[in-house]
Amino acid sequence: HMAVDSCGLPIDFIVTGGEVHDSKAAIELLKQLPDAEHVIADRGYDSEKIREQIREKKGVPNIPRKRNSKIGNGDIDWCLYKHRHLVENVFARLKHYRSV
């Protein structure tokens, strides 16, 4: 689990086992991060607890809800959501150099 800034540079990360749900690790990671204007995450982090944690840190959560949600995604800024690829790029670079 990793947080990156708007330039795609890693800010902080948490290593967990595969059995740990994304939402549990996210809450711990958010506690360690500085305040941010926007926090973008994928559907795996769809949790009201995570959204509240982001708001407590004066940020705006931009996390799509799961398909079975009754609330829908009318409040998601999809243009901003496109920047989520920045964290995926960090993971791709790590995997590229994993043998080093």
Residue 24 Cα distances to 20, 27, 39, 47, 95, angstroms: 7, 6, 16, 10, 24
Tally of domains within the chain = 1
Q: What is the pLDDT of residues 48-81, one digit of tens each?
A: 999 999 999 999 999 999 999 999 999 999 999 9
Question: Cα separation of 25 and 85, whole Å?
Answer: 20
Give burial (CB, 10 Å; 0-12/13-18/19+) of 26: buried
Distances (CA, A) of 2 to 67, 71, 84: 24, 27, 12
**pLDDT (tens digit, 9 = 90+) per residue, 2-52?**
999 999 999 999 999 989 888 889 999 999 999 999 999 999 999 999 999
Domain ranges, residue 32? 2-96
